[in-house]
């Protein structure tokens, strides 16, 4: 913990009391929730960032689309300059809609709608839907967006979360006990053993949340232009150490890593910094994340590629038991059972 966050530690209990009271008010019906017609599956976490929500949203979008559902993604679009609610196209400017919405639009191919008020985004998605397939909304980073009712709450939990502190001293947006409200808790396969006791303690007494295990990996190019042998890595994500660890796990270790703040907007000085660092370290290329790559203009890419190839390493999440997971979704939200709809 740095010195500033240490000074903020006395405020964490107050923050925790406020967010807990807010959740209780929604649970008891004292604050109104808006409800959309199709089922809403929320994917979120108790952390302010870095839990890996976006790859899980992309994974679920791909699975549900492949299984015949009309999927739409509803997202806030953190850091966007627009206040409008609208559809996000793959070619849109990330500055307007936010980096993650544009990345999801490019990565999944399903309709993505961004707006601070996710209910309005959902209404727009329903108006735009042309398919007769069973509709389903994926609410990106929705665990704290309590104004929108959800049929299923999927919450990611990491080892780093259980070792963290509440805001403002740490990065937790809610106390860990909030995980007990989840329908499904998602953990990484490599952390499953270490989190077992925590998960047992968080299980509510009157019901049980399901537990999904996921495998995460970086996808490096397998053919075409060869990978740079001496790459410089750069990223602007919440937990950059995870990116570097996964690169090393893929046996692709960078010379050095240049780290920018989460959701960083790249400018001329940043590109100059990367080029100068590459020159000093004698790097022959770059490697970065999908989230960062969408924010690079064609001109920025051209300048970086003068040093060598710019490799984008997508983060892929994979369910260890997809069939069981999909059965659990249908059990938790019967409206997802297309067989019943076809018989009715």
**CATH code of 95's domain:** 3.40.50.300
Residue 224 falls inside a structural domain:
no
Note whether 264 and 328 are same-domain residues: no
Note whether 303 and 187 are same-domain residues: no
Provide the whole-model pTM: 0.93
Q: What's the pLDDT at 49?
A: 85
Q: What's the pLDDT at 344?
A: 40
For residue 343, give every residue at least 6 positions away whose Cβ sits within 8 Å of its Cβ, in sequence order, or none.
Answer: none
Note whether 245 and 266 are same-domain residues: yes
Q: What's the pLDDT at 337?
A: 84
- Burial zone of 327 (CB within 10 Å; 0-12 exposed, 13-18 middle, 19+ buried): exposed
Residue 304 backbone phi and psi in degrees, to 5? -70, -40
Residue 170 falls inside a structural domain:
yes
Query: Is the bond preceding residue 168 a cis peptide, omega within 30 degrees?
Result: yes
Note whether 173 and 81 are same-domain residues: yes
Query: What mean pLDDT value characterizes the chain?
Result: 93
Note whether 170 and 287 are same-domain residues: no
Long-range CB contacts (within 8 A, 24+) of 30-33: 31/146, 31/147, 32/147, 33/146, 33/147, 33/148, 33/149
The answer on pLDDT for 129 being more than 70 is yes
β partners of residue 44: 155
Distance CA 236, CA 98 (A): 13
Residue 225 falls inside a structural domain:
no
The answer on pLDDT for 343 being more than 50 is no
> Could you tell me the pLDDT band of residue 221, with boundaries at 50, 70 and 90?
confident
The tens digit of pLDDT for each residue in 272-306 reads 999 999 999 999 999 999 999 999 999 999 999 99
Residue among 61, 65, 76, 178 nearest 119 (CA): 76
**CATH code of 283's domain:** 3.40.50.2300
Residue range of the domain that includes 13? 3-217+318-343
> Could you tell me the pLDDT band of residue 62, with boundaries at 50, 70 and 90?
very high
Q: How many of the other CB atoms lie within 10 Å of CB of 226?
A: 10
Note whether 245 and 158 are same-domain residues: no
Distance CA 83, CA 96 (A): 9
Q: What's the pLDDT at 341?
A: 52
Note whether 30 and 157 are same-domain residues: yes
- Strand 210-218 and strand 315-319: the pairing is antiparallel
Domain count within the chain: 2
Q: What's the pLDDT at 3?
A: 67
Residue 243 falls inside a structural domain:
yes
Mean pLDDT for the stretch of residues 157-183: 96
Residue 122 falls inside a structural domain:
yes
Note whether 41 and 133 are same-domain residues: yes
């Amino acid at each position: 913990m740095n010195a500033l966050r240490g000074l903020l530690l006395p405020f964490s209990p107050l923050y925790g009391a406020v967010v807990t009271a807010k959740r209780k008010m929604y649970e008891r019906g004292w604050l109104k929730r808006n409800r959309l017609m199709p089922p809403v599956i929320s994917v979120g976490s108790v952390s302010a960032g870095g839990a890996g929500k976006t790859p899980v949203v992309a994974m679920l979008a791909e699975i549900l689309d492949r299984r015949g559902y009309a999927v739409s993604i509803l997202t806030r679009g953190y850091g966007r300059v627009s206040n409008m609610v609208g559809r996000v196209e793959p070619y849109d400017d990330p500055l307007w809609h936010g980096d993650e919405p544009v990345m999801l639009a490019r990565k999944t191919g399903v309709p993505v709608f961004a707006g601070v008020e996710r209910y309005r985004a959902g209404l727009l998605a329903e108006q735009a839907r042309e398919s007769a397939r069973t509709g389903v909304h994926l609410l990106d980073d929705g665990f704290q967006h309590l104004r929108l009712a959800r049929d299923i709450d999927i919450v990611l939990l990491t080892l780093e979360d259980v070792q963290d502190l509440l805001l403002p001293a740490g990065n937790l947006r809610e106390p860990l006990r909030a995980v007990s409200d989840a329908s499904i808790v998602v953990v990484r396969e490599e952390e499953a053993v270490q989190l077992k006791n925590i998960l047992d303690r968080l299980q509510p007494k009157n019901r049980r949340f399901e537990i999904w295990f996921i495998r995460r990996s970086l996808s490096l190019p397998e053919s075409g232009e060869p990978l740079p042998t001496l790459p410089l890595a750069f990223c602007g994500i919440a937990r950059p150490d995870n990116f570097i660890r996964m690169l090393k796990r893929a046996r692709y270790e960078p010379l050095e890593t240049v780290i920018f703040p989460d959701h960083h907007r790249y400018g001329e000085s940043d590109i100059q910094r990367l080029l100068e660092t590459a020159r000093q370290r004698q790097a022959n290329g770059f490697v970065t994340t999908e989230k960062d790559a969408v924010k690079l203009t064609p001109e920025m890419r051209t300048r970086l590629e003068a040093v060598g190839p710019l490799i984008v390493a997508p983060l892929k999440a994979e369910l260890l038991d997809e069939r069981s997971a999909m059965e659990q979704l249908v059990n938790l939200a019967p409206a997802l059972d297309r067989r019943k709809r076809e018989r009715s």
